[in-house]
Structure 1
Amino acid sequence: MQRTELEQLMTTEGLNLLDSLPPYTNGANIVRSVADLRKRGYPAALVGAVMTQARLRARATAKFGDFADRMLFTEAGLEQATRLNVAALHAGRFRTAGVTRVADLGCGIGADALAFAGLGLTVTAVERDEVTAAIASYNLAPFDTATVEHGDAESFDVSRVDGLYFDPARRTAGHTNTSRLNDPADYSPSLDHVFRLAERMPVGVKLGPGLDRDLLPADAEAQWVSVDGHVVETGLWFGALAREGIRRSALVIANGRTDELHAAVDSDDVDAGALGDYLYEPDGSVIRARLIGDLARTMGARMVTEQIAYLTADSLVETPFASAFRVREVFPFNVSSLKKELKSRGIGRLEIKKRGVDIDPATLRPKLALQGTEEATLFVTRVGGRHSAILADRVG
């Protein structure tokens, strides 16, 4: 979004027009809306701006629920914004730690700042991009305890607050078509700057789920967060925001529940054993937190193969930290024979998963020439040192 587009949108006329639009649903609906607005005399630039916002609001419902209907977005800002239920957990840490004045440095469109203000904290949200800062100001306008400043995170006077929250820019500048920055030294602000401040006061940091573990400071609590099966972030917490005795945690948010597995250290130390009646695929947050050993012990499970993140057990154990599959059969991995086995069982719908083997499920699928009405899950992995295909049924 360009500044001129934002200026047109953020007028009484523009905002009223946006709020008057019907739900953004399908192509025909959109074409009719655009034609109607142009027929009514609205400028093309304004029509384009409000239609873009309508589309982004529709997408944002997955992250913000009903709040999305009264917010503004940029493409990049929405993609990078924290989900509101996760942001509420961030805010809860600050309130529990007794922090009352927090700076959200690199606030983007204001998702985390919304949660801070919603819990009654005084929040100063700082954003270096002018358009994004203006959008954050609009989104935070309902909260008297929130202010937005257009500025640079590294220049902020931290003595004004008693806690800091960072969401460093990990993409190139822009509102659309941004690309990821691979070197943490290129983040804005840099991790070195963030970690130096963490030595002085409570600091929380949102980073990508694929963070290099060598960058984890020894005094930080690292939490990997999964929402509906997708790992969405790594949170680093310092000082009063870090919980005593916890350095690794996996937080799983799914099916209206929030569950956490945590430990003082990594725990990948679990032996491999014979494949049992059930196979378990740990949630991605558990894998990234390296808490598979702790999970296995709570389940009475073992690894299918060392260094491969599948667990197995002889009985069904319900856990929010892993998906369960009932093992049907195990075959040597051979495409021709596997094709025959699946055909004989009438399997036409097949979920293909793989670990520890060099295959591409998208390439394998057409070779299997699936036929039939039955469905199953196929795990291609190593069992007992051999490439194997495990045919299984998803439980629940």
Structure 2
Amino acid sequence: MSELRALLTPEGLELLDALGPIEQGADVARAVSRLRAAGHSPDLVSAVVGQAALRSRGQAKFGDFAARMLFTRAGLEQATRLGVAARHAQRMRRAGVTAVADLGCGIGGDSLAFAGAGLDVSAVDADEVTAAIAAYNLAPFADSATVAHGTAQEHAPTETDGTTAIWMDPARRTAGHGETRRVSSDDYSPPLDWAFELASRVPSGIKLGPGHDRDALPADAEAQWVSAEGSVVELVLWTGALAREGVRRAALVIRGERSHELTAGADADDAPVRELGAFLHEPDGAVIRARLIGDVARSLEAGMLDERIAYLTSDSALTSPFVQSFRVRETMPANPKAISAVLKSHRIGTLEIKKRGMDIDPAAFRKKLALRGDAAATLILTRVGDQRRAILADRVPAAG
């Protein structure tokens, strides 16, 4: 925190803006040497150089905005991608919301998107330095966004006329265990019981980790799992006017500027198991988390490859934005000798390895294979019934 306090001074901010991007280890060493030679304190140099490196990393989530933002390591890790947050802001506007209370705003990433969409924002964070960073990041929207230092409980609106909504991103108090275990409300700040009770009275969006225990979710909330560029990044619970009529499960898939969504009133029934066809389909992680695999399978006229494993198969070449499809070349037992013989016959020198339902390390398994040739393919290792199978396949271009 002493480093961040040193950074939040006119001298620190001027040095940061003059330094430019830090993208490699060599950049760090050169910058530290130059700033120390100029007589700047170790704390200030460390803060400025570290912040420049965070700005470079922040481009993946915030694009060009990152060049004028401030970050903490934890704040950047937890922050919502700007493109995802912008879609949340659009949902609020469609619901008639004009103002948002961001309770636990962190570095202000969500608030930045809300303010950019024309919403009035009242943001708060319990950490004084983090709140100061959020205020700096929201400075371009000073007319419509305010930041306060305090707790969510102190600043939460107790009622609304429908034009004010709440956004919460409860912070995990504890680390070192998986999300999928049954969590306690007090594992989070603010506590989830408090957050859920507030959300039952005021239209809200609550951001949680995508692996959050499904049994702990409020039954009357819309649960939306979001994936961006192939990775599941969050689960959002929507309540009140922000929840869509009849929707309790949703999978939002974002690739570039385009997005696709699958919605349902409940978990979908799985499709029947069938034998491997000409195509294998890997559902997007958001679809798997939302348990809407069966709906995708029926849209592709596909079946489950195994009732316990999230792979689909069909004879059809139809593609979907909710799956990555593979054209099957050949199948074989999942042992290195059999696989190497097939790879040799196809002259495979470049191999992507995917696995599901098998306890193996793909990197270690790759070392057991003979890879020679100029062709490329994908190897899918999985269980089919009680058999361990390897499927050699080619990626089908993703659907738009």
Tell me which interval the TM-score lies in, with the shorter structure as reference length.
Answer: over 0.9
For each residue in 1:230-261, what CA deviation from the matched residue of structure 2 results, as whole angstroms up to 9, or x when unmatched? 00000000010000111111000113211111
Distance 1:268 1:378 in 2: 28
Q: How many pairs were matched up? A: 389
State the match for 2:326 in structure 1. 325
**Compared CA separation, residues 306 and 275, structure 1 to 2 (3 A):** same
Shift of 1:30: 2.7
The structure 1 residue matched to 2:124, chosen from 114, 126, 146, is 126
Residues 279 and 316 of structure 2 are in contact (CA less than 8 Å); yes or no, is this contact kept in structure 1? yes
Residue 158 of structure 1 aligns to a residue in which SS?
A: coil
State the match for 1:63 in structure 2. 61
State the match for 2:192 in structure 1. 191
**Compared CA separation, residues 353 and 94, structure 1 to 2 (3 A):** same
Shift of 1:180: 6.2
State the match for 2:9 in structure 1. 11
Unmatched runs of 5 consecutive residues or more in structure 2: none
State the match for 2:145 in structure 1. 146
Residues 158 and 202 of structure 2 are in contact (CA less than 8 Å); yes or no, is this contact kept in structure 1? no
Does residue 255 (structure 1) correspond to residue 253 (structure 2)? The answer is no
State the match for 2:103 in structure 1. 105
Unmatched runs of 5 consecutive residues or more in structure 1: 173-177
Distance 1:234 1:358 in 2: 27
Residues 181 and 187 of structure 1 are in contact (CA less than 8 Å); yes or no, is this contact kept in structure 2? no
Q: Which stretch shifts more, 332-341 or 201-210?
A: 332-341
Shift of 1:142: 1.6
For each residue in 1:349-384, what CA deviation from the matched residue of structure 2 results, as whole angstroms up to 9, or x when unmatched? 221112223333233211224333322111111235
TM-score between the two structures when normalised by the length of structure 2: 0.93
State the match for 1:372 in structure 2. 373
Cα RMSD between the aligned structures? Answer: 1.7
Residues 198 and 238 of structure 1 are in contact (CA less than 8 Å); yes or no, is this contact kept in structure 2? yes
Opposite residue 120 of structure 1, the aligned amino acid is G
**Compared CA separation, residues 28 and 386, structure 1 to 2 (3 A):** closer
State the match for 1:40 in structure 2. 38
Does residue 230 (structure 1) correspond to residue 231 (structure 2)? The answer is yes
Residue 207 of structure 2 aligns to a residue in which SS?
A: strand
Residues 165 and 203 of structure 1 are in contact (CA less than 8 Å); yes or no, is this contact kept in structure 2? yes
Opposite residue 364 of structure 1, the aligned amino acid is F
For each residue in 1:107-126, what CA deviation from the matched residue of structure 2 results, as whole angstroms up to 9, or x when unmatched? 10001111111122221111
Residues 207 and 236 of structure 2 are in contact (CA less than 8 Å); yes or no, is this contact kept in structure 1? yes
Does residue 167 (structure 1) correspond to residue 169 (structure 2)? The answer is yes
Distance 1:28 1:388 in 2: 45
Q: Which stretch shifts more, 31-40 or 154-163?
A: 154-163
For each residue in 1:281-335, what CA deviation from the matched residue of structure 2 results, as whole angstroms up to 9, or x when unmatched? 1100001101111111111111112121111111211211111111001112233
Distance 2:126 2:262 in 1: 36
Instruction: State how 1:277-292 maps to structure 2 within 5 Å.
Output: 277-292=278-293
Q: Which stretch shifts more, 27-36 or 319-328?
A: 27-36
State the match for 1:54 in structure 2. 52
Instruction: State how 1:266-345 maps to structure 2 within 5 Å.
Output: 266-345=267-346
Distance 1:59 1:358 in 2: 32
Opposite residue 61 of structure 1, the aligned amino acid is Q
Residues 171 and 180 of structure 1 are in contact (CA less than 8 Å); yes or no, is this contact kept in structure 2? no
**Compared CA separation, residues 45 and 273, structure 1 to 2 (3 A):** same
Q: Which stretch shifts more, 126-135 or 373-382?
A: 373-382
Residues 343 and 370 of structure 2 are in contact (CA less than 8 Å); yes or no, is this contact kept in structure 1? no
State the match for 2:389 in structure 1. 388
**Compared CA separation, residues 389 and 197, structure 1 to 2 (3 A):** same
Opposite residue 112 of structure 2, the aligned amino acid is L
Residues 171 and 179 of structure 1 are in contact (CA less than 8 Å); yes or no, is this contact kept in structure 2? no
Does residue 28 (structure 1) correspond to residue 26 (structure 2)? The answer is yes
Distance 1:164 1:27 in 2: 41
Distance 1:327 1:255 in 2: 27
Distance 2:206 2:235 in 1: 8
Distance 1:230 1:160 in 2: 36
State the match for 2:79 in structure 1. 81
Opposite residue 375 of structure 1, the aligned amino acid is A
Residues 282 and 322 of structure 1 are in contact (CA less than 8 Å); yes or no, is this contact kept in structure 2? yes
Shift of 1:38: 2.1
State the match for 1:218 in structure 2. 219
TM-score between the two structures when normalised by the length of structure 1: 0.94
Residue 155 of structure 1 aligns to a residue in which SS?
A: helix
**Compared CA separation, residues 22 and 139, structure 1 to 2 (3 A):** closer
Distance 2:159 2:208 in 1: 24
Residue 171 of structure 2 aligns to a residue in which SS?
A: coil
Percent identity of the aligned residues? 61
Which runs of at least 4 in structure 1 moved beyond 4 Å after TM superposition? 178-182
Residue 328 of structure 1 aligns to a residue in which SS?
A: strand
For each residue in 1:6-53, what CA deviation from the matched residue of structure 2 results, as whole angstroms up to 9, or x when unmatched? 332222222111111132232333322222222222222211111011
Residues 5 and 49 of structure 1 are in contact (CA less than 8 Å); yes or no, is this contact kept in structure 2? yes
Opposite residue 36 of structure 2, the aligned amino acid is R
Residue 392 of structure 1 aligns to a residue in which SS?
A: strand
State the match for 1:175 in structure 2. none
